[in-house]
């Protein structure tokens, strides 16, 4: 199904052209926290619209994916200088170096063990960092697979996408890894999220599909109306008891939703060529989308 009328769509400008809002998350302070990947900054957008921007110690560090940590701070990957960043809700930022040179940290998510887990795109590894900065790295049984996003699953493990490996991976807290190949060749999975139905949902940027994998490795794929729309990120809607997930269509300038049964709806964004990337759903059901054109879009129920 295709829809453009069920949601009010607006946007808030948070950056200039070329500064690149990329990822965003809901903070413990009720604000949205946003990575400005090309500016080397983290932005905070308060519910009333106030915007604060915090410069990091390197303008070229490439802040990429951001998440709320178990310690009340925000944690993010610095893909260009190969560090993990941390910023408190009052704007104090720091970072931790990683043991493997040029590893390219990208996805990051809190695990059930009170630590943050992250992917290393260029090193075929998944890492774990405690809130005091202790890092452990786990090698994957593959090469050149480009591990991308990561999410905690309902089974006490972390699940991640292998963009060039055409697979979904699972890593247990002890580092044991299992890989699940996808049915579609060159699917290039990117974003992944734990859905309300107890499965992991992911997007296939190369195939124009939404995927679902159960914790025992069974995969379903749902083609999108526009197979060239290049879906990028996905997030669960905790406010929706039916288990809906929301995803961005980077190449289609749209945001979409998918139910556990595979019903898909899509919504046009107000500005053309806005390059939607990260997505998060607030507790009131508002869908927030990072637009690399310089804004955050809001799809209100």
Residues that are catalytic: 277
Tell me the β-bridge partners of 45. 32, 51
- Cβ–Cβ under 8 Å, residues 203 and 211: yes
CA distance 153 to 140: 18
- Is 220 annotated to bind ligand? no
- Is 288 annotated to bind ligand? no
- Is 19 annotated to bind ligand? no
Q: Provide the annotated binding site for Mg(2+).
A: 275, 292
Binding residues: 232, 275, 292
Instruction: Please enumerate, by residue number, every residue annotated as part of a binding site for substrate.
Output: 232
């Amino acid at each position: 199904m295709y829809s453009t009328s069920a949601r009010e769509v607006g946007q808030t400008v948070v950056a200039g052209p070329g500064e690149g809002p990329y990822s965003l998350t809901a903070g413990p302070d009720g604000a949205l926290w946003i990575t400005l990947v090309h500016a080397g900054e983290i932005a905070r957008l308060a519910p009333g619209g106030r915007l604060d921007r915090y410069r990091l110690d390197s303008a070229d560090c490439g802040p990429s994916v951001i998440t709320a940590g178990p310690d009340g701070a925000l944690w993010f990957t610095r893909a260009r200088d190969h560090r993990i960043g941390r910023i408190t809700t009052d704007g104090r930022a720091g970072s931790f170096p990683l043991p493997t040179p040029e590893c390219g940290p990208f996805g990051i998510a809190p695990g059930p063990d009170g630590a943050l887990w992250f992917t290393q795109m260029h090193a075929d590894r998944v890492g774990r960092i405690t809130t005091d900065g202790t890092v452990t790295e786990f090698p994957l049984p593959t090469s050149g697979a480009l591990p991308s996003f990561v999410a905690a699953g309902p089974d006490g493990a972390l699940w991640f996408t292998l963009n060039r490996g055409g697979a979904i991976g699972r890593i247990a807290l002890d580092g044991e890894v299992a890989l699940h190949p996808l049915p579609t060749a060159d699917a290039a999975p990117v974003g992944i999220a734990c859905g309300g139905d107890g499965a992991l949902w992911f997007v296939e940027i190369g195939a124009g599909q939404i995927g679902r994998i159960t914790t025992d490795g069974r995969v379903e794929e749902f083609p999108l109306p526009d197979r060239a729309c290049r879906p990028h990120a996905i997030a669960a809607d905790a406010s929706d008891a039916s288990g809906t997930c929301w995803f961005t269509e980077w190449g289609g300038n749209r945001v979409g939703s998918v139910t556990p049964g595979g019903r898909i709806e899509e919504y046009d964004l107000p500005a053309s060529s806005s390059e939607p990337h990260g997505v998060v759903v607030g507790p009131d059901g508002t869908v927030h989308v990072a637009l690399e054109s310089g804004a955050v879009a809001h799809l209100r129920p």
